[in-house]
Amino acid sequence: MYSLTDKKPFFVLAPMDDVTDTVFRQVIAGTAKPDLYFTEFVNVDRMQSPGREKVIPKLKYSDKETPIVAQLWGKTPENYYKTAKDIVAMGFDGVDINMGCPAKPITQNGCCAALINNRELAGQIIEAVRDAVGPDFPVSVKTRLGYNQVDLTWIEFLLKYKLNMLTIHGRTKAEMSKVPARWDLIGEVASLRDRISPETLIVGNGDVMSFEQGEQMSKQYGVDGIMIGRGVFHDPYVFSLHSPWGDMTKQQKIDLYTSHVKLFAKTWNNGERALHTLNKFCKVYIEGFPGAKDLREKLMGAETSDQLLEMLDEASEN
Ligand SMILES: Cc1cc2nc3c(=O)[nH]c(=O)nc-3n(C[C@H](O)[C@H](O)[C@H](O)COP(=O)(O)O)c2cc1C
């Protein structure tokens, strides 16, 4: 399983739509590498439609971001089957099924977290993916603790499928991101795993903000892996034990953003991603030094990547 079983805990960069594209994953590979990457979630029904070309950029990756798992979502088992075949052909290291996204338009359509209440379809999807990839290719699920309430029968149901990996975001669907993640319950999931499917790797997810905290959570709650999402917004070096981020100078931060923008411009040179999608990264890098707020406002006004790079150059101290 991605050669992760020897390392405890292994660290995983969370899938974040419109954030963790190949560009940002390469930036993180260059600051402090996690042990496993996920793509953004990719809709299987669009993948098997004329809209396929629009979704394909989400599956772009380089050899710097490996091992890497492609995350899928959608409704139709047949499209999961076909897309899982595509994923194997594209050289991914595993395939993950999103059964946790709580966004209303998605759950109203019966997808992602809605599968918690539709076990028949959830089972059919897992089986379709398994059939497509064969017995030796890793299949995993990322989910939550329940729909409206905590429901560990959902977790038991999933564990019976002997998944290679199960990621638990320690909240229910109804809780969105509004309450602290329930790590005590993530610990219970690890115990259920020991009883039902000892080979399944359990990844805990929710509110981990540092490498040290991740190690502590793994020790305390018995999970194999730790997934970090929003922690990278506060520290792009979050996957290192001794993060240099707090001591980094304005110039070092500008340099990091500059390298991100250059890679963005080179990678998405056909307009696959709008320039404004960089603004959330601007907030990550351009902070923690005098004048950061004014500089951010200026940079967010850039209309082309060349203009943005020029502004970053002007703001440089050397
Ligand atoms: C902007 C954003 C986009 C997200 N997109 C996805 C996604 O595509 N697939 C997924 O499984 N989870 C997605 N998530 C949820 C995260 O993977 C993660 O489960 C959640 O943020 C909790 O972890 P954290 O506290 O470490 O951020 C997203 C979260 C954010 C903030």
- φ, ψ dihedrals at 99, nearest 5°: -125, 35
Give the three-class secondary structure for 210. Answer: coil
pLDDT at 204: 98
Q: What distance in Å separates the CA atoms of residue 84 and residue 90, rounded to the nearest whole number?
A: 10
Q: Is the peptide bond preceding residue 15 cis, with omega within 30 degrees of 0?
A: no
pLDDT at 198: 97
By the 8 A CB rule, do 317 and 291 touch?
A: no
* Residues 215-239 pLDDT 10s: 999 999 999 999 999 999 999 999 9
Whether 114 and 200 map to the same domain: the answer is yes
Mean pLDDT of 76-99: 98
CATH of the domain at 59: 3.20.20.70
Give the three-class secondary structure for 43. Answer: strand
Rg, Å, the chain Cα set:
20
Distance set, CA 17 to CA 135, 144, 156, 261 (Å): 29, 17, 28, 18
What's the domain range around 291? 248-315
| 5 band by pLDDT with thresholds 50, 70 and 90 | low
Mean pLDDT of 290-300: 97
Whether 159 and 279 map to the same domain: the answer is no
Distance set, CA 36 to CA 93, 121, 150 (Å): 10, 28, 28
Residue 1 has pLDDT above 90, yes or no: no
Residue 293 has pLDDT above 80, yes or no: yes
By the 8 A CB rule, do 72 and 96 touch?
A: yes
Whether 217 and 254 map to the same domain: the answer is no
Whether 183 and 257 map to the same domain: the answer is no
Which residue(s) pair with 139 in the sheet? 95
Residue 118 has pLDDT above 70, yes or no: yes
Q: How far is the CA of 273 from the centre of ligand 1 (A)?
A: 19
Whether 205 and 302 map to the same domain: the answer is no
- 19 Cα nearest atom in ligand 1: 1
- Both tokens of 146, joined, read 């329940």
Mean pLDDT of 196-202: 97
Catalytic residues: 101
- 100 Cα nearest atom in ligand 1: 11
Whether 181 and 257 map to the same domain: the answer is no
pLDDT at 3: 67
* Residues 141-150 pLDDT 10s: 999 999 999 9
Q: How far is the CA of 169 from the centre of ligand 1 (A)?
A: 9
By the 8 A CB rule, do 102 and 148 touch?
A: no
Beta strands in 28-164 (DSSP E): 36-43, 68-73, 94-99, 139-144
Give the three-class secondary structure for 25. Answer: helix
pLDDT at 318: 57
- 228 Cα nearest atom in ligand 1: 26
Whether 193 and 277 map to the same domain: the answer is no
Residue 1 maps to a domain: no
Q: Which of 234, 264, 290 is the last residue before a domain boundary? A: 234
| 317 band by pLDDT with thresholds 50, 70 and 90 | confident
Q: How far is the CA of 227 from the centre of ligand 1 (A)?
A: 10
Q: How far is the CA of 97 from the centre of ligand 1 (A)?
A: 14
Mean pLDDT of 259-285: 96
* Residues 246-260 pLDDT 10s: 999 999 999 999 999
Mean pLDDT of 117-130: 98
Q: Which of 234, 266, 291 is the last residue before a domain boundary? A: 234
Whether 17 and 113 map to the same domain: the answer is yes
Q: Whose CA is nearest to atom 30 of ligand 1?
A: 16
23 close to ligand 1 (CB < 6 Angstrom): no
Whether 209 and 257 map to the same domain: the answer is no
| 299 band by pLDDT with thresholds 50, 70 and 90 | very high
Mean pLDDT of 267-289: 96
Beta strands in 179-279 (DSSP E): 201-205, 225-228
Q: What distance in Å separates the CA atoms of residue 258 and residue 71, rounded to the nearest whole number?
A: 29
Q: What is the pTM of this model?
A: 0.97
The end-to-end CA distance of the chain, in Å, is 46
Return the number of other C-beta atoms located less than 10 Å from residue 233's C-beta: 16
**Residue-by-residue DSSP string for 210-239:** SHHHHHHHHHHH--SEEEESTHHHH-TTTT
Give the three-class secondary structure for 115. Answer: helix
| 62 band by pLDDT with thresholds 50, 70 and 90 | very high
- 209 Cα nearest atom in ligand 1: 26
14 close to ligand 1 (CB < 6 Angstrom): yes
Residue 11 has pLDDT above 70, yes or no: yes
By the 8 A CB rule, do 21 and 280 touch?
A: no
Whether 256 and 227 map to the same domain: the answer is no
Whether 30 and 171 map to the same domain: the answer is yes
Contacts of 187 (CB under 8 A, 6+ apart): 220, 221, 222, 223
Q: What distance in Å separates the CA atoms of residue 123 and residue 131, rounded to the nearest whole number?
A: 12
Residue 4 maps to a domain: no
71 close to ligand 1 (CB < 6 Angstrom): yes
Q: How far is the CA of 71 from the centre of ligand 1 (A)?
A: 12
Whether 307 and 186 map to the same domain: the answer is no
15 close to ligand 1 (CB < 6 Angstrom): yes
Describe the crossing of helices 250-267 and 22-31 by its angle, rounded to 10 degrees.
140
102 close to ligand 1 (CB < 6 Angstrom): no
By the 8 A CB rule, do 91 and 105 touch?
A: no
- The residue ranking higher by pLDDT, 1 or 290, is 290
Enter the DSSP assignment of 113.
G
Give the three-class secondary structure for 204. Answer: strand
